[in-house]
Amino acid sequence: MLYLIELWESVRDFIATGGNVLYVVMGVLFLMWVLMIERYWYLVNSFPKLRDTIIARWNERKDTTSWYAHRIREAWISEANDKLNARILLIKTCVALCPLVGLLGTVTGMIAVFEIMAVQGTGNPRLMASGISMATIPTMAGMVAALSGMFFATRLESKVKRAKENLVDSLPHH
């Protein structure tokens, strides 16, 4: 329990150093990871049942060669593809949003530096350093968040593509 308290204090200190924009970066990062975990969960638990149902329905059909049968096959594949790709675009949007929110933190930090320069003049380097720190930390946090999301989002996309291809291969058409 003490470890969690110390961890939270470290996070709070980091956010205090980087500014309130880090809460937004943290929120986008949290949303991105919740969506990715949900998609991985769907791929592992729910999609195999759907795939097996579609394959069983296809194998039960007597007619698998007519034009109508091919349209039914394409419709089933399309429905499965839609379910597989659900929320992938939202995940990619979160990945792209992280560095942009970090840049917002850069802008707010630089505004703080300019305010200090306007009020105090350029003679107080400590005050300027805290503003510059506030400007660079959100950018770094946004980039790190985006990099972590980019790697796993790419892996998730390849798993979705492979799952669709396996479904297509499991539904032979003559």
pTM for this entry: 0.83
- Give every CB contact of residue 86 below 8 A, 6+ residues apart in sequence: 39, 42
pLDDT of residue 110: 84
pLDDT of residue 129: 72
pLDDT of residue 126: 73
Ranges under pLDDT 70 in the chain: 121-124, 127, 174
pLDDT of residue 2: 84
CA distance linking residue 86 with residue 154, whole number of Å: 15
pLDDT in tens, 151-174: 999 999 999 999 999 999 998 876
Task: Phi first, then psi: give them for residue 18, nearest 5 degrees.
Answer: -95, -15
